[in-house]
Amino acid sequence: MGLLALQNDLTSGKTTCRDVVTSYLERIESQKHLNAFLEVYGDEALDRAEVIDSKIKSNNAGKLAGLVIGIKDNIAYKGHPVSASSKILAGFNSNFSATVVERLLAEDAIIIGRLNCDEFAMGASNENSAYGNVLNAADNARVPGGSSGGSAVAVQADLCMASLGSDTGGSIRQPSSFTGTFGMKPTYGRVSRWGLLAYASSFDQIGPITKSVEDMAMILEVMAGVDEHDATVSQQPVPDYSKNLSLPDKQRIAVIRDCLVSDGIAPHVKEHTEKAIEKLKAEGHTVEFVDFPYLDYMVSCYYVLTTAEASSNLSRYSGLMYGHRSSDATDLESTFKLSRSEGFGEEVKRRIMAGTFVLSSDQYDAYYTKAQKVRRVIQDETFKILDNYDAILLPTTPTEAFKIGEKSDDLIAMYLADIFTVQAPLAGIPAISIPTGSTPENLPFGLQLMTGRFEEQKLLQLSHYLYELMTN
């Protein structure tokens, strides 16, 4: 059931917010083995549900009344723990709420808990959490994707109606593809990053994971917009996305040729993408292949820049002010070394060291400066395509979800799981994964759409249309 249908039932008295929350709490308890939630706010959610039930009866409830939502464990919620699934922040409670959390609560959403993720949002499989793997509900032997794996599985397994994730290089869209959910990375600057624990500040964006485009549109229009706490947020007005999801006219859609001839793409993913192309053409849309000869450079460029930013951002976790402090420390230097060594996981340490290396004085120009230039080339070439087309269509991921442990010893293969998702954050444009495909074993995978900067309305309209086209 979507949010609008639920709100109709709430208004008519067929159900109550308390009943809805109780149902989800029972479901969460029965699916604990998935390890999607790090903490469930059961009593708090029930108390809030009763308040919102009263508001509904008096006809003054907010836009999101009845929406039961989980938040990724790198989004601050006042008075609640936030750890980015890392031991370095064990015992830390946030003293303020992220802007997105404040806006959801202001419109009467109910936050039911915080969700597991790859440590500091670094990973493509959710195998890097200090609190254990999240399991894919479609096949518990497979990963849910990362880093927002808990957020995706919570929606996939009906543990909440929607969730918030963060996307740096594909961390919403890739797990959405692996779990058969909708996941969006908005334009950089569309949604405030205030209260998001930073991984790479010029890439990170908070976005929704849902079961429908309609719910996604309603959540996005509440979260997006100007925020005095975040100077990178755009001043552009926020449309009423949910009020206009009909595609107004025929579209011009580009397909990046290299994506469909990539060595790692699974045959069923390629065939499904080709099927989508043919269906769009049959409906009168223009779909054309375009060349984008930078596919092999994007992942390298992304990892140089994001590890550099991570090296800087994570330097604040020192064992001095908050979070984990080593009991074996004897002086300032040992406090730094031991607290960070004990608190950070292997993947986070690896990326901090890589970032520190590319920022070092003798390597800065060879790596960081060059990667910034490559990023500009990728951005410019992406914009050129979008100057001539309404959207870019490509697979979200080269394959369906892989097995737990399958890529743990092959870091290059793990990093290449992001090969189709890093273009959007490098260019700063919005992108969405749409759950339209599945393997013969019923393992889901998605199609991805990208549009121009701040063209979320067009992206949502086309996504709604494409989903209906491919599933009906």
DSSP collapsed to 3 states, 443-469: CEEEEEEECCCCCHHHHHHHHHHHHHH
**Nearest Cα to Cα of residue 144 among 182, 176, 183:** 176
Count CA within 13 A, CB hemisphere, residue 209.
39
Backbone φ and ψ for 272, nearest 5 degrees, come out as -65, -40
Q: H or E element: which one contains 271? A: helix 267-282
Alpha-carbon gap, residue 432 to 411, rounded angstroms: 25
Q: Which of 125, 147, 163, 311 is catalytic?
A: 147
Name every residue whose Cβ is closer than 8 Å to that of residue 66 and which is 6 or more positions away in sequence. 3, 6, 7, 10, 17, 20, 52, 56, 108, 110
Q: Structure tokens of 359?
A: 């920022």
170, HSE (Cβ side, Cα atoms, 13 Å)? 33
SS3 320: coil
Told to judge if 86 belongs to the known catalytic residues of this protein, a careful annotator would answer no
Determine whether 177 is an active site residue: no
| Positive or negative torsion for Cα 411, 436, 242, 384 | positive
Active-site residue, from 148, 151, 166, 171: 171
| 171 belongs to the catalytic site | yes
Q: Which residues are catalytic?
A: 72, 147, 171
